[in-house]
Structure 1
Amino acid sequence: MTIEGSLLSHLVELRTRLIRIISGLLIGFIPCAFYARELYTMLAQPLLEKLPQGGQMIATDVATPFFVPMKVAMMLAFVIALPHTLYQTWAFIAPGLYTHEKRLALPLVFAGSLLFFSGMLFAYFAALPLVFEFITYFAPEGVAVMTDINKYLSFVLSMFMAFGITFEVPVVVMVLVKTGFITIEKLREIRPYVIVGSFVIAAIVTPPDVISQFMLAVPLCLLYEAGIIIAALTLKKDKQENDKTRSDHSENDNT
């Protein structure tokens, strides 16, 4: 096959995979759109439960009451269709990977997706209620707490992204160790700097309150430690398998 033919076949394959990904997103979006209002109410629940009596959320733009729930429906459709999206992406790139790369990539993709969702759930059920309780508690006397629904959605999405990315730390540590970019000993050596950096990052990406900063920084430190432990166990297992393989080869040679 010529270079032009190979490139054309890859482009056709890419187009097919993209069409399937978009189709999966549309299929997931249609049922979510019917329940867009209920989905937004569910998303806003951490704030609604902490608002003082008489407090409510408002919409300051004419089209906001329609578009904001639709954004939530699209976000949920993306989450629902993510396994299908990842599979299509994997099916496109897998033929170009070596066997050992395939063994490493697939578990990392699965673990990364699971950890990202775990970070979002942690933000929704643990971090957001505490943050909103802290904020509403310190509202001055006579100030009505009424948040615009679009700004609330932007705030929640930023928190989801911050916690989702934070929960990817074990995967990042694993990749760095497996690729030989850094050693376990070096990771342990820089632990104090990582702890300080965790609180600095938390102060930058979270609202200016102590609660949310601790809620992000502490899991970041713990997940860093978890990444070191998992990477060390994986390297130990790989070493045992390599020793066993060399031993089997040595026995075959002697035979």
Structure 2
Amino acid sequence: MLIVQLSDPHIRPAGTLYQGRVDSNAMFRAALEQLNQLHPQPDLVIISGDLVDEGSPAEYAMARELLSEIRQPLLLIPGNHDEREAFRHAFADHDYLPASGPLHFVAAGHGPLRVIGLDVTLPGEHHGDMSEAAVAWLEQALAQEPQRPTLIMLHQPPFDSGIAYIDLYKCRNGHRLAEVVSRYPAVERVVCGHIHRAMQLRFGGTLLCTAPSTTTAIALRLDPNAEEASYLEPPAMLLHHWRAETGLITHWLPIGAFTGPLPFA
């Protein structure tokens, strides 16, 4: 089973630049063009939040237009730049999304790997929280099929990355998530967005990885007093490849045109 993870496209209304500088829509379209050229084609596409930048109806209309290029089933969760109710309205035809409350979901009908979407966003805030209610929901969801290979997707990472100015907006109470995950060895991966960089670490007895953005990258500045910044680094996506004999392998795949293929390996 192949799953492409895209994250943080920060789609803007047609003709509007992200942060007044970057054509995030064109960069997302380039990501989708590359997605459609993959061979074999993925079975599923997931987007781990910040689909749009300001949560406006015009942005969601633009998002729907761009997302129409995706041929696979699509699973989405909101990020801190999304507006929960506008997101819910824009994707009312996505029947895995609940009609009220946090946009948690369980998607078990796309292949052997179950995908759980966990909405840890807090309306009006940029940080997330693993609340006691979210813990209870996740525990119940995992217990439905405790032995089934599972990927859990949330937006804000539940750990300190070392980049002080983005760690202010992490998912708080991440230890609660780790405790739940540790009780279910079938959780193959926890995946996040938000941080606009690829990172990985052990978490709750499994692996956690963050996806790069399809637009700008948050600067890797580990000085605790560093000023916040971003770069136009090569955008990328993650490709998660699940096989029964190996479990889940995660590949970092840059987006763009590169010299090759060359006749050697």
TM-score by length of 2: 0.21
TM-score normalised by L of structure 1: 0.22
Q: Which has the higher strand share?
A: 2
